[in-house]
Amino acid sequence: MAERVITVLGATGTTGRRVAERLRAEGVPHRTASRSSSTRFDWTDESTWKGAATDTRALYLVAPEDPRPVRDFVQLAVAEGVERIVGLSGRGAQHFATPGVSFGADMVAAEEAVRESGVSWTLLRPNNFDQNFGEGLFRDALAQGRLGLPIDSTHEPFIDAQDVADVAVELLLRGGFEGQTLELSGPEAISFGEAVSTMSAALEREIAFQPLSRGRYLEELLDQGVPHEDALALITMFELLGAGINTEVTDGVESVLGRAPRDFESYARQAAMAWH
Ligand SMILES: NC(=O)c1ccc[n+]([C@@H]2O[C@H](COP(=O)([O-])OP(=O)(O)OC[C@H]3O[C@@H](n4cnc5c(N)ncnc54)[C@H](OP(=O)(O)O)[C@@H]3O)[C@@H](O)[C@H]2O)c1
């Protein structure tokens, strides 16, 4: 019988890559699955699903942007013998995908599919990642010296994606926290402007943070070629953040790992080394 593995979806992404690296470092048999991973898995191509799910004992689930296939895939994975699912969602998901909110349908669908899977599960709801500043959404703006966002003084306890991955690996390997939805934050809430100043100091280059009106931000996103629907979803996300839904620091990381989460300054120093 083939060895049963841990399957990591989204394995080239911000958290999945780190989950897979940690499993590799610990010598745990695992499979990396995405369109460009060693096991080709594509949410939009059902013929690739079985190959990703087969002989899997535990699954790290990163939701597809279009949430429609997630339930069918989870059911197939359970039929293939998956016993445990650790699903990635996002902090504040209880406010997403309600009437009038055009953000987070992917995370809500993933949560529902995982909760109804019939196997052991834990859901992770992290805050926005530190990595958005150094390798994700805001990287290009930081490289150009100015980040403009429709948010002002609201604080956010940004979390290091490595902490999210460490929590996921712990739960995939050793279980615990079954049937729970864990809110994961960094150790302290800072404003987006403070995060930019910290990145600016670590990178030793001037980077300005500029609070924008909703209209100006929309214009800038459209000028950058962001599709209208995606731009509106981002604006909705900032409106939710601005309403203060995710400002509280949580003890989620510490409760799973028994240590404090990494702070933003350490992340910024590490990101600066990677940039230089
Ligand atoms: N960024 C944040 O601050 C933040 C905070 C909280 C929650 N989240 C949530 O985290 C999730 C994203 O996770 P992440 O940041 O770890 O990943 P990510 O960096 O957004 O990367 C997405 C991953 O999904 C794979 N993928 C994309 N389209 C696919 C398809 N059609 N079929 C199969 N795989 C596909 C990509 O690999 P390939 O290109 O190789 O297919 C990649 O590995 C989202 O639900 C987001 O809302 C993000």
Share the mean pLDDT of the chain: 95
pLDDT more than 70, % of the chain: 99
Domains (ranges, CATH) in the chain?
5-275 (3.40.50.720)
pLDDT tens digits, 131-184: 999 998 999 999 999 999 999 999 999 999 999 999 999 999 999 999 999 999
Find all residues with CB under 8 Å of 80, minimum gap 6, and list them: 50, 53, 54, 55, 56
Instruction: Enter the tokens of residue 77.
Output: 């994975």
**Is the CB of 162 inside a 6 Å radius of any atom of ligand 1?**
no
Q: How far apart are the first and last CA of the chain?
A: 48
pLDDT band at 1 (very low <50, low <70, confident <90, very high): low
User: CA–CA distance from 61 to each of 6, 7, 13 (Å)?
Assistant: 11, 9, 12
Give the containing element (helix H, strand E) for 9.
strand 5-9
pLDDT tens digits, 242-271: 999 999 999 999 999 999 999 999 999 999
Instruction: Enter the tokens of residue 87.
Output: 């699903």
Q: Is the pLDDT of residue 126 over 70?
A: yes
- Between CA 198 and CA 192 the distance in angstroms is 10
The three-state (H, E, C) secondary structure of 176-224, written as one string: CCCCEEEEECCCCCEEHHHHHHHHHHHHCCCCEEEECCHHHHHHHHHHC
At 2 the pLDDT is: 77
User: CA–CA distance from 104 to each of 34, 181, 227, 254 (Å)?
Assistant: 21, 16, 16, 26
- Among 41-45, 106-110, 160-164, 200-204, which is the least confidently predicted range? 106-110
- Between CA 163 and CA 109 the distance in angstroms is 23
Instruction: Supply the residue whose CA is at minimum distance from atom 28 of ligand 1.
Output: 64
Cβ–Cβ under 8 Å, residues 268 and 201: yes
Of 21, 47, 60, 62, the one to substitute when testing ligand 1's pocket (max ligand atoms within 8 A of C-beta) is 62
Tell me, in angstroms, the distance from the centre of ligand 1 to residue 171's CA.
19
Q: Is the pLDDT of residue 129 over 70?
A: yes
Tell me, in angstroms, the distance from the centre of ligand 1 to residue 62's CA.
6
Q: What is the mean pLDDT of residues 113-128?
A: 98
Q: Is the pLDDT of residue 33 over 80?
A: yes
Q: Which amino acid is at 9?
A: L
Q: Is the pLDDT of residue 196 over 90?
A: yes
Chain-centroid distance of CA 77 in Å reads 21
Q: Pick the more confident residue, 99 or 47.
A: 47
- Between CA 50 and CA 118 the distance in angstroms is 19
State the pairing for strand pair 5-9/30-34: parallel
At 3 the pLDDT is: 85
Burial of 247 (0-12, 13-18, 19+ CB in 10 A): middle
At 257 the pLDDT is: 98
Of 9, 12, 65, the one to substitute when testing ligand 1's pocket (max ligand atoms within 8 A of C-beta) is 12
User: CA–CA distance from 114 to each of 118, 141, 231 (Å)?
Assistant: 8, 35, 28
Find all residues with CB under 8 Å of 218, minimum gap 6, and list them: 231, 232, 235
pLDDT tens digits, 61-111: 999 988 899 999 999 999 999 999 999 999 999 888 777 667 888 899 999
**Is the CB of 44 inside a 6 Å radius of any atom of ligand 1?**
yes
